[in-house]
Chains A and B, each alone.
Chain A
Amino acid sequence: MLRDITIGQYYPADSVIHRLDPRTKIVGTMLYILSLFLVREFPGFIVVITAFAGVWILSHVPFTYMLRGLRPILFILFITAGFNVFLTKGTVLWQWWIFTVTKEGLLRGAFMAIRLILLILGTSMMTYTTTPNQLTDGLEKLMKPLKVIHFPVHEIAMMMSIALRFIPILTEEATRIRKAQMARGADMESGGIIRRAKALVPVFIPLLVAAFHRAFDLAMAMEARCYHGGDGRTKMKPLRYHARDRFAYAYLLCFFATVILLRVWLKI
């Protein structure tokens, strides 16, 4: 179960999308998210899906792999869709006890579900094709202006990249701890919410201790390799825009313009 979390995981492949400058991908993802919220009717999604599909085909990330990223949010997905289905007023299709399903509700639920799915797919596309380090490089560079107001841009970028690197390691560790306690007869699968939460204590404590150990070790290893913050640091791979990035920006602009035009003129 824990192993299935693939958000924030890099999928190594050699594609145009992988080679894009991370800044391009971050800006692109932001425009993409914005466009998802601009779309008001189903037909609008066609534009978004088409644009996304183009990127996906170029990225060489297997479809099954993309879908796996959705699994952890299934719960949120159902809740969101459910709320919309049951709480929207309109033409009643079906009614039972306090539950009322309306035509508008169904449409609204489906709409929200699609929006959420596209949101996750789009953001995971960025993390699949960008290594955490590139991602933080990109963010660091994009946010550099904030340094003027003493915003710790470099530190935050570093923290993020380390968090991303250790997610899979801690996930695996959690699985192992869980198994070690199950081997001692722990019951993780039955009982009510309180019992289950209690059953997690023996997993949570060793995990926390292990995480602290790792953090301590890593801090020492970084110091031993002369890390002393962002000042005076050079880059092994400084970010430079290439021709492909200009194409990407053009593609993005066309896409975003289409979404806005549709919204303004056709109200969808």
Chain B
Amino acid sequence: MKPVVTRQLVHDYVTRDEEGNPSETKRALDHVDITVGEGRFVAVLGANGSGKSTLAKHLNALLLPTDGSVLVCDMDTADDQYLWEIRKSAGMVFQNPDNQIVASVVEEDVGFGPENLGVPTEEILTRVDASLRAVGMQKYRESSPNKLSGGQKQRVAIAGVLAMEPKCILLDEPTAMLDPIGRREVLETVRRLNREKGITVILITHYMEEVTEADEVIVMRHGRVAMQGTPREVFSRVEELRELRLEVPQVTELAYELSRRGVPFTGAILTPQEFVDAYLSLKPETDAENGGAGAETVSAEVGSERNESVETGSAGKPVRMQDEQPILSLRNVDYVYGAGTAFEKKALEHVNLDIFRGEYIGLIGHTGSGKSTLIQLFNGLEKPTSGTVCYEGVDIFSEKYDRRKLRSNVGLVFQYPDHQLFETTVRLDVAYGPKNQGLSGAELEERVEWALRLAGVAEELWQSAPLELSGGQKRRVAIAGVLAMKPKVLVLDEPTAGLDPCGRDEILSEVERICRETGMTVVLVSHRMEDVARFADRLIVMNDGHILQDAPPKEVFRHREELTAVGLEVPQVTAVLQMLRERGRKVPADIVTTAEAVRALM
């Protein structure tokens, strides 16, 4: 019995006009044939809009085939009588942790499935027990889901599926909204269930690092299966993956780049450890290898992935004077949430920070480290419990200070574009900010167009409804909406969350370009080290309400152990080079991008 088989599966989304006649048909799945064997761990990869979520919904009979068929444990999803049996056999975990938890207490939510199935009370209790234990959440049995972290909520959701005793678990981008710690929690749980309980797992994702341990990888494109094979097979086709708007793990890319330059790596490298082992055997110590070896640090000529104009841009940046006034400055800032209640929590403690004109700052830390609170202090949305926040030397909480004006100088783009888009057209939406500033007429139009162009929103989209745009486009419109106020400082809260690798790179390059073209000060909040390493000239690492590190990326990533201790990772290439050093190779310890690593290892 195969848990999942699809035969020539086709799915069309039909848009209907007001009279109910079909007006537009979009093919989301185009003759898909996949077979998943019992106990397998299969990963489905694909860019946004490649049809992978539609596929998942078919496997749970949430959607029915337009053509072709889907068999779940030998039951046809089109056959009504098997509906509940299918949903019980192939349980589904969704992307948004909040929107799939029904009950207000963890154990009651886990019991929801079995209750629906009509399982006797006694057995529900044993199942809930076992499921919570299997995902390591028994301690939170009686907690409210609202008090859990994203990773914990997803584990509860997995437990909820487990309690129905499924043969197969489908996970539809379960980690897209989580930070690295949460992602690790969820993936470890899923892997353990697969290994120890033999449950078949189908994991849909666009994070490549998550699929290296899968038995099989299926890559989707435009509703078709574009590639299929073991992770090693698939990841050896780096160029093809790039074309599919995907990427490979950073070490895989490094090995690939090196092999193109003559280092004979065989097959794809999937983990840092593999890379180190392969590299050491390929390049014995005695070789005249390591072109840049011997150097303790990478000197300027090694360069980085930034293109030339950036190099000159940052080189041309005036050297900061000792007495230059910081544009933003925080002194002894404390921030306490819910002071005086049972839920009192210190979000920031004793934070001192100066931000200077023209800096590109990466702000890192996991959820709850205080970074979101910190950026809301920058434009006075939150008031520190104690301490001062100064913009251009003036205390923003002094009497009669115009904080609305401050907010147009310190532009803050929140994480979810859906939280700010509300107008009927992109143009009108972007005009909201400058209108609040008092602009009108030609000046307003000019400003809106300037912002839209700067944020890279294509002109044909200016009249469309913002809510109908794709994730990446919405993000751009949201950024344009803040740029339109011509801020001097641009703060972006995880602008790439939920985007596929290609969309992420596009947004990051866009931000980089904005920074370069306008000389704006940029603060980029992220939990992806690779992103900030590439662009930022200064990194601020937050942990537990404190600033743990505040230095250029190269400096920060030298402290690999310190960072891992608080649950943050250095970029894979940095880790690889540092591991090589530990094995006695004289390679620099402060490599932060793939390009740098390639040059250092050639």
Contacts and interface: CB of A to CB of B under 8 A. Distances in A.
B249 interface: no
A165 to B, nearest CB: 5
Interface string B52-75: 000001001010000000000000
Contacts of B117: 226
B161 A220 contact: no
Contacts of A182: 381, 407
B143 to A, nearest CB: 7
A228 B421 CA distance: 35
B398 interface: no
Contacts of B113: 225-226
B108 interface: yes
Q: Is the interface of A mostly helix, strand, loop or mixed?
A: helix
A180 B414 contact: yes
Interface stretch (B88-96, B256-264, B275-283, B295-303): B88-96
Contacts of A221: 92, 94, 99-100, 102
Contacts of B419: 173, 176-177, 180, 206, 210
Contacts of A64: 340-341
Nearest to B60: A224
A238 B107 CA distance: 14
B116 A236 contact: no
A131 interface: yes
A248 to B, nearest CB: 22
Contacts of B570: none
Interface string B106-131: 01100111111111110011001000
B87 A226 contact: yes
Interface footprint category on A: 35 or more
A179 B112 contact: no
Nearest to B375: A183
Contact of A202 (B118, B125, B422): B422
Interface in B409-435: 411-414, 416, 418-422, 432-433
Nearest to B107: A236
Interface string B435-463: 01100000000000000000000000000
Interface in B143-172: 143-146, 160-161, 164
Nearest to A190: B404
Nearest to A135: B104
B408 to A, nearest CB: 5
Contacts of B414: 176, 179-180, 183
B341 A168 contact: no
Interface in A183-224: 183-187, 201-202, 205-206, 209-210, 213-214, 217-218, 220-224
A249 interface: no
A165 B103 contact: yes
B114 A236 contact: yes
Contacts, number: 169
Interface in B29-66: 57, 60, 62
B276 to A, nearest CB: 42
Contact of A165 (B104, B164, B407, B420): B104
Contacts of B100: 217-218, 221
Given A131-B105, A221-B100, A226-B164, A236 B121 contact: yes
A65 interface: yes
A101 to B, nearest CB: 35
A184 B112 contact: no
B98 interface: yes
Contacts of B143: 12
A54 interface: no
B124 A12 contact: no
A209 B193 CA distance: 36
A65 B340 CA distance: 10
A62 interface: yes
B418 A209 contact: yes
B379 interface: yes
A62 B342 contact: yes
A241 interface: no
A161 B102 CA distance: 8
B407 A184 contact: yes
Interface string B336-351: 0000111000000000
B421 to A, nearest CB: 7
A225 B162 CA distance: 11
B481 interface: yes
Nearest to B57: A220
Given A164-B104, A218-B99, A232-B118, A225 B112 contact: yes
Contacts of B62: 220, 223-224
A202 B420 CA distance: 7
B467 interface: yes
Given A206-B418, A217-B94, A224-B62, A185 B408 contact: yes
B146 A233 contact: no
A123 interface: no
Given A65-B342, A184-B436, A224-B87, A10 B144 contact: yes
Contacts of A177: 419-420
Interface in A36-71: 62, 64-65, 68
A95 B44 CA distance: 78
A9 to B, nearest CB: 9
Contacts of B485: 184-185
A220 B56 CA distance: 12
Contact of A184 (B98, B114, B124, B432): B432
A170 to B, nearest CB: 10
A100 interface: no
Among B84, B108, B128, B408, the one with the most A-chain Cβ atoms within 10 Å of its Cβ is B108
Contact of B116 (A131, A201, A233): A233
24 contacts: A12-B142, A131-B103, A161-B104, A168-B146, A169-B98, A180-B414, A181-B420, A183-B381, A184-B420, A184-B481, A206-B419, A206-B421, A210-B418, A213-B99, A214-B96, A217-B94, A220-B62, A221-B94, A225-B112, A225-B116, A232-B118, A233-B118, A236-B108, A236-B114
Given A169-B98, A222-B112, 8 more contacts: A131-B108, A181-B432, A221-B100, A225-B87, A225-B91, A225-B116, A226-B164, A236-B125
Interface of B: 57, 60, 62, 84, 87-88, 91-92, 94, 96, 98-105, 107-108, 111-121, 124-125, 128, 142-146, 160-161, 164, 340-342, 376, 379, 381, 404, 407-408, 411-414, 416, 418-422, 432-433, 436-437, 467, 481-482, 485
